[in-house]
Amino acid sequence: MSERACMLCGIIQKTSQFENKGCPNCQAIFDEANVTPIECTSPSFEGCIGMCKPNKSWCAKWLRLDNFQPGLYAIKVDGRLPVEVVDILPHYIPRDGSNVD
Ligand SMILES: [Zn+2]
């Protein structure tokens, strides 16, 4: 069963979940940018952290979302978001390790 990680929030889900429901955190952004969840996720990711209190996490703050879904999150996700998404996220930092926070 193949899994992918969201390039935006890092959540790891099965490909079919992204295809059917999109990202539980970022779908509103994908809709706004008019891109598919598959374009914004990558099958190449590293690490896996469980997030128990996602609303206190750094990435929840970074995305300014109040309620991140609990789940498994990748530490590093290879790939780049479509430019349509980056355009509406001026503070986006690629998660592929090319920038250090
Ligand atoms: Zn996401």
**Residue 67 or 18, more confident:** 18
Q: Record the pTM.
A: 0.76
Neighbours of 93 (CB within 10 A): 12
Q: What does each C-alpha distance from 85 to 17, 30, 90 come to in angstroms?
A: 20, 7, 9
Asked if the model's pLDDT at residue 97 lies above 90, the reply is no
In the predicted model, what is the mean pLDDT of residues 54-77?
67
Segment 21-64, tens digit of pLDDT: 999 999 999 999 999 999 999 999 987 777 655 555 555 555 55
What CATH topology corresponds to 3-87? Herpes Virus-1 (3.30.40)
Strand, helix or coil at 28? helix
Kindly list the domain boundaries of the chain, sorted by start residue.
3-87
The Å distance, Cα 23 to ligand 1 centre, comes to 5
Q: Which residues surround ligand 1, an ion (CB under 5 A)?
A: 6, 8-9, 23, 25-26
When pLDDT is cut at 50, 70 and 90, the band that residue 73 belongs to is: confident
Start-to-end CA span in the chain (Å): 32
The Å distance, Cα 2 to ligand 1 centre, comes to 17
Neighbours of 2 (CB within 10 A): 7
